[in-house]
Amino acid sequence: MPMLQNVTILGATGTIGLNTLDVISRHPGRYRVFALTANSRVDELAELCLQHRPRYAVMLDSGAAEKLQQKLKGMETQVLSGLAALEEVAAHPEVHVVMAAIVGAAGLKPAMAAAYAGKRILLANKETLVMAGKLFMQAVEEGGATLLPIDSEHNAIFQVMPPARLSALADGGIRRILLTASGGPFRKSSFAELMAVTPAQALNHPNWVMGPKITIDSATLMNKGLEVIEAHWLFNAPADKIEVVVHPQSVIHSMVEYIDGSVLAQMGNPDMRTPIAYGLGYPERLKAGVNALDLFKVGRLDFEAPDTARFPCLRLAFDALRHGGTAPAILNAANEVAVDAFLNGNIGFQDIPRLIEAVLIAMDIETVTSISQLIEVDALARAHALEWRQLEAC
């Protein structure tokens, strides 16, 4: 790696994107912002361009890109639009590091482009691994990319695992992966209370500040389900070697249990700048602006088992992983539609798992063959999910 590394941030206007810019700004001699991307929020991206002066700014939406162009008149930043441009700035020969922080299935193709181009990929977009874990891991290998997990749990596991990727967990003397979960805002809510949950209540996460989609996923425990599938691909871990442990303080970010009885945990304040700094600097440690962990203030650490009767999304994700093939891609697409429908007030909180299960039952599960197949499956699952919503509304 050269002294000054060019960084592309996919999803720069999101919470992960902004946290990445915060860490990068603390190390100006080490990182240069090369490209920033967003979907449609022009004012937010324009502001970031004025501050960080990237070579490229990309908006998925072409109308939004035109508006951005107007706002950045006279600046050296080149404005591009569309999916191909997102892939281009992810794979550009001058780029060293790509932060993959687009939300949802939309992040898949740009992340694949970065993998084939052999970049250092800081992967926040877990949906890429859920949809296309096998193909993405193959692309990372073929492209000679370096994959660093940013999701706090996976980053924690990565920090306490043996350094080489294992062909089987047992080769590293590992018995199990213990994936921690905060339990979300409704950890103690009864089934009846869950029926009446509003979007505003679900958007109020007790420990983490995150974008709306992942915040709802955290409330349903689908986020943990997606993370189980993510851990499967990152660490070559079968479903029965991954245990979810509810830990409401979110101080232990995950653990690895070894055959000699040792359990290694990574701890810290719940602040995404820690995993981001780890990914940027690896194997060096960088200052991230994160406060030291005050154990006296934390006081105690609690653990409990997850309740899949109240939170069926976690069970659905485990089932999809065990089925394999296109099942996780179907789960992911149906979940995206369900979360959107819930946020728009069209379905209830407990309809989210019902909708996902209905779509999984309605669709055939196939062997994964290509990205284009997965994109078709994604579209079909969304169509089924929208149909279910309309049937329910009748």
Within 59-78, the residues that bind ligand NDP by CB under 6 A are: 60
Report how far apart the first and last C-alpha atoms of the chain are (Å, whole number). Answer: 58
Contact of residue 268 among Mg ion, ligand NDP, none (CB under 5-8 Å per partner type): none
CB 125 within 8 A of CB 101: yes
328 binds ligand NDP (CB under 6 A): no
17 binds ligand NDP (CB under 6 A): yes
Q: Classify strands 174-181 and 242-246 as parallel, antiparallel or unpaired.
A: parallel
331-368 per-residue burial string, b: 16 or more CB within 10 A, e: under 16: bbbbbbbbbbbbbeeebbbbbbbebbbbbbeebebeeb
Interface residue with ligand NDP among 6, 7, 11, 187 (CB under 6 A) is: 11
159 binds ligand NDP (CB under 6 A): no
16 binds ligand NDP (CB under 6 A): yes
Least distance from C-beta 156 to ligand NDP, angstroms?
Answer: 12
Residues 6+ apart with CB under 8 A from 189: 197, 310
By C-beta, is 130 or 377 nearer to Mg ion?
A: 130
Q: Omega into 212 within 30° of 0, i.e. cis? A: no
Question: In whole angstroms, what is the distance from residue 359 CA to residue 382 CA?
Answer: 9
By C-beta, is 6 or 250 nearer to Mg ion?
A: 250
356 binds ligand NDP (CB under 6 A): no
* φ, ψ at 146 (rounded to 5°): -110, 120
230 binds Mg ion (CB under 5 A): no
Within 119-138, the residues that bind ligand NDP by CB under 6 A are: 124-127
Listed ranges 47-55, 95-103, 194-202, 303-311: which one lies at the site for ligand NDP (CB under 6 A):
95-103
Least distance from C-beta 125 to Mg ion, angstroms?
Answer: 12
Interface residue with Mg ion among 87, 127, 151, 351 (CB under 5 A) is: 151
Residue nearest to ligand NDP (CB): 14
* φ, ψ at 95 (rounded to 5°): -85, 135
282 binds ligand NDP (CB under 6 A): no
Listed ranges 33-41, 320-328, 337-345, 378-386: which one lies at the site for ligand NDP (CB under 6 A):
33-41
315-to-247, 260, 327 alpha-carbon distances in Å:
18, 30, 13
207 binds ligand NDP (CB under 6 A): no
Residues 6+ apart with CB under 8 A from 327: 319, 320, 321, 360, 365
Question: In whole angstroms, what is the distance from residue 247 CA to residue 95 CA?
Answer: 38
351 binds Mg ion (CB under 5 A): no
Listed ranges 9-17, 158-166, 167-175, 305-313: which one lies at the site for ligand NDP (CB under 6 A):
9-17
257 binds Mg ion (CB under 5 A): no
By C-beta, is 203 or 245 nearer to ligand NDP?
A: 203
276-to-154, 217, 292, 393 alpha-carbon distances in Å:
12, 21, 16, 42
Interface residue with ligand NDP among 27, 32, 41, 323 (CB under 6 A) is: 41
Count of residues near Mg ion by CB under 5 A: 3
Contact set with ligand NDP (CB under 6 A): 11-17, 38-41, 44, 60, 101-103, 106, 124-127, 151, 208, 210-211, 213-214, 272
Q: Which residues bind Mg ion (CB under 5 A)?
A: 151-153
